[in-house]
Structure 1
């Protein structure tokens, strides 16, 4: 499916270039109107990132998150600095459908395994962001500032024992660039991990990119900047996905 994405920093919609807070672009959008339109067009889920929360969990944009939940009944998956069971319980209580876990999947694996057991694999999305060198998919964490020695495949294997289902995989070099997605990456991982529902993220700029990604058999495509900059409409994107 197509998953529209909104990143928020200081209460405003924003896109970062390859995760760099110094290279950001704010967008003047009517979020409420966007959500009404998405609902009307048949969007099944929204992806939301609290970039303030990512940098510092004490600065989570709670009032904004509450407002967004009150705007729409489209299910929303939320990411950004989710580190504890308390964070997860609070976000589910607010009404979010899924939580997106990033750095903790590397730094706190015992806890994340426990969360998969407690909440169920439908409620947890692992966000695994990779830098690819010589086809080795090394995971980066903490806003992509810290490289790790874990590969994408190793982490998926580690959590497969807990019935991991949803993985949001981003090629960092593509994020926020509109330079086209890494089709080879998604072909490889979809073929290797048949039980995982992959969400592809990064680089989508044309309807042709959607067609190419659908052909890799990823479950979903997360689209942020292209929709914000009106490279195509949500209606066109959804039609393209369904047709393909």
Structure 2
């Protein structure tokens, strides 16, 4: 599945380079027009990130996201700044389909495990951002500022007892770079964790990248910057995924 992505900072669409808030590029886009086009082309789900909320929970862009929900029927998964059960309830009440949990899955594993049980595995996506050193997939948290001792494999194993289903895995060395995805990574984790629907993210710059990712067996590909910069169209991306 192709999942178009939009990151928002202070009410504007933006892309960060490797998660760096100081290295950002804003995009002047008609979001409503994009959503209409995506709906007409057959997009099944959209990925949104609240970068303001991720940085400061008091600056969550709920008004913006409420407006977005009001003018599209496409299911949306949303992440950024989700720290409490109340945050999750608020987003589900607004009409979001899934919530994406990042740092908290490492900082407070027991709480997030409880959420998987309460809301069900179809409603929760774990966003696991990794830095690969000597083939160890170390997870980074707090906007990629802090490397943990947890590995990707350990965390997936931990949450799998609560029927973890969706994992958004990003190799941070690729994010926002348009340098191509880490194909070796996705081949490896898809083979190891057959029960997980992986969402691949980071580095996608061409249709051939999508073609290569489809062959790894990932469930979905999240595409942000390359669509915003019109390196290919949503129609071309969807056709590539369906026809591979």
Same fold by TM-score greater than 0.5: yes
Q: Deviations over 1:204-223 (max 9, x none)?
A: 00000000000000000000
Distance 1:100 1:63 in 2: 19
Deviation at 1:77, TM superposition (A): 0.1
Residue 120 (str. 1) matches residue 120 (str. 2) = yes
Stretches of structure 2 lacking an aligned partner (at least 5 in a row): none
Deviating 4+ runs (over 2 angstroms): none
Where do 5+ consecutive residues of structure 1 fail to align? none
The match for 1:184 is: 184
Secondary structure of the structure 2 residue equivalent to 1:37: helix
**Paired residue for 1:211?**
211
Distance 1:134 1:223 in 2: 27
**Residues of 2 paired with 1:36 and 1:147: CA distance?**
39
- Determine helix, strand or coil for the equivalent of 2:173: helix
Corresponding residue SS for 1:195: coil
1:150 counterpart SS class: strand
Matched residue count:
244
Question: Shift of residue 62 of structure 1?
Answer: 1.1
Q: C-alpha distance in 1, partners of 2:112/2:62?
A: 23
Q: CA deviation at 1:71?
A: 1.3
Query: How big is the alpha-carbon RMSD for the aligned residues of Structure 1 and Structure 2?
Result: 0.3
Alpha-carbon distance in structure 2 between the residues aligned to 1:203 and 1:16: 12
- 2:235 aligned residue: 235
> In the alignment, does 2:20 pair up with 1:20?
yes
Q: Could you report, residue by residue, the CA deviation over 1:105-151 in whole angstroms, capped at 9, with x for unpaired residues?
A: 00011110100000000000000000001110000001000110000
Distance 1:109 1:135 in 2: 24
- Distance in 1 (CA, whole Å) between partners of 2:155 and 2:110 is 12
